[in-house]
Amino acid sequence: MPSPIILDRDYQAAIAPYAGYAPPIPSDAGTLRLQNDMAIQAVMSVFPAPEDSVEETKIPYSSAGAQLQLHKFVPSGNKAGGGCILYIHGGGLVSGSVPLFRKDIIRYAFETGLPIYAPTYRLAPEHPFPAAIEDVYSALEYLRDNAEKEGIDASKMAVMGTSAGGGIGAGVALMARDKGFSPPISKLVLIYPMLDDRTKLGPDHPVNEHLTWTTKKNEIGWSSYLGGDGKEVSEYAAPARAKDVSGLPKTYIDVGGVDLFKDEAIAFAARLVAADVETEFHLYPGVPHGWEWISATAPVTKKAVQNRVWALTNL
């Protein structure tokens, strides 16, 4: 018999005001996008971030004919010539945007003291795979090719992705390895990454009632991204399918113990270790997907942010 699910007490206290609320079940990518974006906007509206300490500008760039923007966040006191972070926002492959994740980006720019570049990328289902991968890889190339202009050290570039952004980041790292991208990505930081299109839980699984990202949402996100046309799934789309993970950058991964992505994150980390990739992994018991935005001051959140910042500054 499965063990009972025990939530982190501070997270449980943070969600107490919402007890009894059951969000509507999305039926398609459009309703999932609306639901996700509204939820992110709601939690980010009260999320504390040192906005006055970070300057934001926008840089136009192109990808596969699409005209996009690279948002640049520079913390006060940043010195030219150091490393930088390419931040890939989440949203289940069908939603999210840099403006919605702006406060999260500002937090990491402030805490690391490093400039962060966050690319817009095209979303499914309007733009299925490989659009997102192409867009983020193009942003990575832009930073390398314009390193002197941007005042950054191209040999010290970290790729950081959250949720779907983590899966995209892992896919970009695989692509960069295979294409001989040089200088190589210095560090890969994956926050509860969306890596495996095959992940699903049965309807009677005890963790279901605590999930913030559910099997149904996952199915909509992946089918929108992959197109559902029966073609073989690329490892760049779903990095858990990669036959060989050797040669990837030093990697940091974390995930909550009440997250749909827990098992796929653990499995990917184990494969990296087996392939002699320098790997740091953290499992935070009792918290679900995206927990830190609704419980920003909880000890588990402070611990996770501290670990992520350490990974990002040790390039």
Q: What integer pLDDT is reported at residue 1 of this predicted model? A: 46
Gap between the Cα atoms of 269 and 278, Å rounded: 10
- All structural domains of the chain, each given as residue ranges with its CATH number in brackets, are 9-15+26-313 (3.40.50.1820)
Gap between the Cα atoms of 292 and 108, Å rounded: 13
The CA angle 62-66-70, to the nearest 5 degrees, is 45
Q: Using an 8 Å Cβ cutoff, are 116 and 87 in contact?
A: yes
Q: What integer pLDDT is reported at residue 137 of this predicted model? A: 98
Q: What integer pLDDT is reported at residue 229 of this predicted model? A: 67
Q: Using an 8 Å Cβ cutoff, are 137 and 150 in contact?
A: no
Q: How far is CA 90 from CA 119, 182, 280, in A?
A: 12, 26, 21
Q: Using an 8 Å Cβ cutoff, are 204 and 269 in contact?
A: no
Kindly list the averaged pLDDT for each block of 10 residues, start to end, along the chain of length 315: 81 90 90 96 91 96 96 90 95 98 97 97 98 98 97 97 98 98 98 97 93 97 88 95 98 98 98 98 98 94 98 94
Question: In this predicted model, what pLDDT tens digit does every residue of 50-76 receive, in sequence order?
Answer: 999 999 999 999 999 999 999 999 999
SS3 159: strand
Gap between the Cα atoms of 220 and 2, Å rounded: 27
